[in-house]
């Protein structure tokens, strides 16, 4: 998914019209969040933190990533402290190097769990990106290979429970479909 310039312009206009400096791009795996976040990061001259770096593999699910986001990124950001996080290496199944997040007017966080309720107190601008399950699974297996199918199916169930509990879609400030169109 790539968001065309007209739609991207609307998204940027809405972000800039808000008081938010934290932009959270959330939605189910395979919906197109990473592509949109890269476009937003470029346009806003903002660093992008990827939730994929904060999950402790497949088993921790979106809730585990959201807890690490809070501990390593959101709490220090709110306190005006240095923001850094440790990247999880999915191949080695271990925590890897630390990444420093440079100070910036905006910070973009993308991934499943990026707009959990914990960001509401920080005045985040929440963008929801969605695609149907079949399309998401197709994209995921194209990227990760057929051997990841069982992981994907379990993850899809975990994220559905997370989103039902968090009501992330309902709380979003803006919604896009997985093909870059406003919903």
Name the residue ranges covered by the structural domains of the chain. 5-177
Please name the fold of domain 5-177.
Rossmann fold (3.40.50)
Tokens found for residue 150: 């069982």
The span from the CA of 43 to the CA of 25, in Å, is 15
End-to-end CA distance of the chain: 15
Residue pLDDT tens, the chain, 183 long: 789 999 999 999 999 999 999 999 999 999 999 999 999 999 999 999 999 999 999 888 899 999 999 999 999 999 999 999 999 999 999 999 999 999 999 999 999 999 999 988 999 999 999 999 999 999 999 999 999 999 999 999 999 999 999 999 999 999 999 998 999
The span from the CA of 41 to the CA of 107, in Å, is 8
Q: What is the CA radius of gyration of the chain?
A: 15
Tokens found for residue 84: 């850094």
Instruction: Say what the pTM is.
Output: 0.95
């Amino acid at each position: 998914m790539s968001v065309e310039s007209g739609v991207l312009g609307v998204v940027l206009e809405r972000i800039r019209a808000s008081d938010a400096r934290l932009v959270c791009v959330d939605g189910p795996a395979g919906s197109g969040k990473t592509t949109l976040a890269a476009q937003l990061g470029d346009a806003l001259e903002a660093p992008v933190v990827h939730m994929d770096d904060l999950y402790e593999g497949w088993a921790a699910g979106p809730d585990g990533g959201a807890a690490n986001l809070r501990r390593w990124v959101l709490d220090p950001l709110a306190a005006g402290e240095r923001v850094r996080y440790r990247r999880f290496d999915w191949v080695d199944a271990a925590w890897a190097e630390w990444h420093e997040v440079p100070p910036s007017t905006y910070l973009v966080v993308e991934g499943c769990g990026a707009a959990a309720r914990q960001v509401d107190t920080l005045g985040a601008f929440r963008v929801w990106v969605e695609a149907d399950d079949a399309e998401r699974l197709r994209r995921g297996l194209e990227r990760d290979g057929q051997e990841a199918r069982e992981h994907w199916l379990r993850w899809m169930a975990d994220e559905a429970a997370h989103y039902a509990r968090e009501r992330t879609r309902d709380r979003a400030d803006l919604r896009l479909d997985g093909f870059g169109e406003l919903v």
